[in-house]
Chain A
Amino acid sequence: MLAPTSFAPSLEGLPMTEPMNGERKPRRLAIIASKGTLDWAYPPLMLATTAASMGWDVGIYFTFYGLYIIHKDYQNQLQVSPVGNPAMPPPLPAFPQFKVPTLLGTLPGMTAMATTMMKGWMEKAHLAPLGELLSIARELGVKLYACNTMIGVMGIDRADLMEGVECAGSPAFLDYAAEAHIQLFI
């Protein structure tokens, strides 16, 4: 056995407490995904798949631009913008002092370039592409809800949403979230 660390005081004889054997309700995670850029699309899906892999009950409520994460035509085309993001890493890792001034981010092609760069980093780290994370989420039983109202406001066709997505309203989501141990707005 590895020596204990502060996050993992003892690995000996785990599980230590509260095994989930049906006598106890599983923990629940409720997430609202409201952003439609590549960088903001990942956190809800990473947390959801992690929690589901631990046997938690997980639901994501997609609203506003977050709806594009579950939109068949858009989910592979989400982008990240360098505009207004001074934390955007330098394009050439060998020259960390050469950062793209945020004003230049407004030039045509800069969003595409930033997106290509970020996808490259993710691929290098073997992070699953969005589509794959979503199918893992479905396989592990994550519930995907689409906000009814915003589907209408944004003129999205329900038929264009990926399979397995349920349309729901905020009362239904709040009722679900009220029973959750963790609620996040992302």
Chain B
Amino acid sequence: MTAPTLQIAQTLDARGLVCPMPTVRLGQAIRKLNVGDIVEVWTDDPGSQANMAAWTKNTGHQLVSSAVEGQVYKYQVRRMR
């Protein structure tokens, strides 16, 4: 699946934050968005892939796309409820 170009409502720069802070910050941020909005998370946590999978599975929010650019992982998450 190639990710379509999506409107990003918010970019959350969590680079430099250790686990669990990126997902905790994501949890704080997504509550302030509207349902359907997308937040893009930037993190350099090497464990973030498994963390984001677990986080989205638990919250029911949708992981729209994931990518890595150099040391930085970028995840787009859509608020579903």
Contact = CB atoms under 8 A, between A and B. Distances in A.
A24 to B, nearest CB: 10
Contact of B66 (A1, A7, A55, A125): A1
A11 B55 CA distance: 11
Contacts of B54: 7-8, 54
A16 B23 contact: no
A125 B45 CA distance: 11
A178 interface: no
Contacts of B28: 53, 136, 139-140
A127 to B, nearest CB: 6
Given A1-B65, A12-B1, A53 B53 contact: no
Given A20-B60, A21-B60, A7 B49 contact: yes
Interface residues of A, number: 34
Contact of A14 (B21, B47, B53): B53
B33 to A, nearest CB: 14
Q: Which 3 A-B pairs have the closest CB atoms?
A: A53-B27, A7-B50, A19-B60
Interface of B: 1, 3, 16-18, 20-21, 23-24, 26-28, 47, 49-50, 52-63, 65-68, 73, 80-81
